[in-house]
Structure formats: structure tokens, C-alpha cells
Amino acid sequence: MTLKGRDFLTLLDFTPEEISYLLELSAELKEKKKKGILHDELRGKNIALIFEKNSTRTRTSFEVAAHDLGMGVTFLDPQSSQIGKKESIADTARVLSGIFDGIEYRGFGQEIVEELAKYSDVPVWNGLTNEFHPTQILADFLTVKEHFGYLKGIKFVYMGDARYNMGNSLMIGCAKMGMEFTACAPEKYFPDKALIAKCEEIAKETGAKLNFISDPEIACKGADVIYTDVWVSMGEPVEVWEERVKELLPYQVNAEKMKIAGDKCIFMHCLPSFHDLKTKIGKEMGERFGLDAFEVTDEVFESEASVVFREAENRMHTIKAVILATLK
Ligand code: CP
Ligand code: NVA
């Protein structure tokens, strides 16, 4: 299989076989890294990383993956580059594709990364937009596969704001891989109807099942994975916190929900997470709303069932697979 020259903008563009291939390649690269076997197969190539929003995992994963593959990396942010202020995305794409072999973009609307890809001659990788976060899904699925040994049929429950990048992308991923995806939230937080319809079509081919349930007791029963994400995403106005806390608190992942799921259930989160008040925003909001955690309790986050740090490590191995598969 070859994905050479392909962009990586959303998992909608990839077949289940291609996604499986990327997961297998990730596992191979992870094993090589653990054994200390050099894999600098892209020596002499260079990539650009554009971040219009903050990042810890995605940026460091792209940087370390590129270094391991023998590549050079240049980081660009809107403050220190011309992007957006003096130069359009279309012009930036044409400039950077003359200099680099691949471009990562993290920012706002999906249409921006699509515009970048349209004008770029080299692969463009989506490092998170408001709508999608496809590299995260590869890391999540590698983690699920490592834990359970398979993906097909896994009961995957997403709690919280399911209409943003994580909910959307996990629904697509689960549909592609024949899993049972449940979005558990008040109805207004379910993914966009047109995207649900697309995923239902995919599910018909793959045997996946999609559920949209507002009662956590029903949704969590028998879950293999309970997943959540922050209730307020990067770039959203601070005013939305009040409504989100009020509406999503019943969907906080806590010991009770993990118990409803059962002993085999694991807890996952893309991170960063407001599981305690040890961050500036967490403390500020915790004091404001009288809470000691938001989307997940500290008890669950720190429990044996939580695989969040292995999941975070897997960002690097899976991003490396995306870079290698699309450039080699
Ligand atoms: N999960 C994730 O994308 O983390 P960062 O925002 O730190 O990159
Ligand atoms: N939904 C979150 C994901 C962070 C990885 C955000 O967009 O901020």
C-alpha cells in the first residue's frame, strides 16, 4: 500500500484498509523506537509546522517524529510569520511547498487547511481544526488496539461536546473501523446531521453502529471505552463556560459512570484535561463554578482504567507513520 503524496485532512478521505495500514506502520515504528533501531528513512527532507493555536502533544510529536525520520523541522506561528497578516493561505502554501516536503497546519476552520492543501504541491497534514483532529484518532485507535487487540465491534462512548473536532473525528473513525460509536450528550451537542448521515453510509459498509443517547446510564452500560474532551475548546469565547458547565456536568466522567460501564472499560482523553485545579484556567473556572474538576474527575483520570498517557505517547508514533507513509 502507498499513500505517497496524499494529504491527511480528515479520515473521511481514507479507506478502512488505509487506516489499518497507518496503524500497523505506527506499531512497527513504535517497536523500532523502543528497540533503539534507527529509522531515519527520510534523511534530507524538511517539513514546516504551522500552529495558529497552542499545542504540546501535536507539536512535539511532529518534531520528534521528524527528527527520528532524519528530517529538518521549522516551526511557524502567526506572531512571527507573515501568515494571515501579510500573506494569504494560498500564497503561503505555494511558498512553503517550494521549500518544504510536507506542511502541518493547526488552526481554525477546516476550509483553511483545505485551502492550504489545494495550493500546496506537497502533502498537508491536519494538526487540528475546529471540525476535525484526524491524527489524534490514529493515536486513540492504536491505544485501543494495544489494549483490546482489535477495533471492530469495540463499544466506544464519547461523553460531552460531540459536535466539535474530537466528537466528529471519533465518530468518523469508529464508522470506518466497524466500531460501535455512542455520542452521549444533550441533543444539541450531537454532531452535525450531514456528517452523521455520511457516517451512517460508511457504517452500512463496515458494520459499524452509531448511537446518539442523552442518558448516561444507558450510554455507558457495557462500554469498552469511555472518552471525553474539554467542554470548551481552543478559540471558543470565555462566555460559553457557564452554559457548558450547566449542560454538560451530568456527562462528567466519574467513578459512577465507569462502574456502569464495567470492569473492562478504559478511560481515554485527547488531553489537555481539566481533571483538577492545577492549571490557571482550571483554577479560575473551578473557583467560579465551585467544582474541583470538569469533564472528568481526578479519581477516574488517575485510576488504573485511565490510559491517557500511553495515548499521548502514541501521538508521536502515529504522526510518524502519517509523515512516512505520505512522503516515502
Ligand atoms: N491532544 C492534542 O492535540 O494535544 P495538544 O493540543 O497539546 O497538541
Ligand atoms: N477540542 C479540543 C481538543 C484539543 C486537543 C480543542 O479543540 O481545544
Look at 5-9, 76-80, 317-321 and tell me which has the smallest mean pLDDT: 76-80
pLDDT tens-digit map of 29-68: 999 999 999 999 999 999 999 999 999 999 999 999 999 9
| Residue nearest to ligand 2 atom 1, measured at CA | 233
Measured between alpha carbons, how far is 46 from 209 in angstroms, rounded to an integer? 41
If 0-12 CB within 10 Å is exposed, 13-18 middle and 19+ buried, where does residue 27 land? middle
CB atoms within 10 A of CB 264: 13
pLDDT at 281 over 90: yes
pLDDT at 84 over 90: no
Banded model confidence at residue 212, pLDDT cuts 50, 70, 90: very high
Bridge partners, 158 (sequence order): 183, 227
The atom of ligand 1 lying closest to the CA of 59 is 8
Strand locations in 141-221 (E):
155-159, 180-184, 209-213
Q: Which three cell numbers stand for residue 296?
A: 472528568
Ligand 2 pocket: which of 131, 230, 279 to mutate (most atoms within 8 A of CB):
230
Average of pLDDT values for 10-24? 98
pLDDT at 78 over 90: no
Residue where the block lists cell 466519574 = 254
pLDDT tens-digit map of 219-262: 999 999 999 999 999 999 999 999 999 999 999 999 999 999 99
Average of pLDDT values for 83-94? 94
CA angle 28, 54, 273 (to 5 degrees): 75
CA–centroid distance, 327 to ligand 1, in Å, is 23
Q: How far does CA 164 lie from the centroid of its chain?
A: 11
How much is the pTM?
0.98
CB neighbours of 138 closer than 8 A, spacing ≥ 6? Answer: 19, 22, 23, 26, 314, 318, 319, 321, 322
Banded model confidence at residue 203, pLDDT cuts 50, 70, 90: very high
Asked about 136 being catalytic, the answer comes back as yes
Average of pLDDT values for 70-88? 94
Measured between alpha carbons, how far is 228 from 235 in angstroms, rounded to an integer? 18
Average of pLDDT values for 156-182? 99
Asked about 315 being catalytic, the answer comes back as yes
pLDDT tens-digit map of 123-167: 999 999 999 999 999 999 999 999 999 999 999 999 999 999 999
pLDDT score at 104: 98
DSSP state of 192: P
Is-cis flag, bond preceding 16, omega within 30?
no
Handedness of CA 293, 231, 16, 200 (dihedral sign): positive
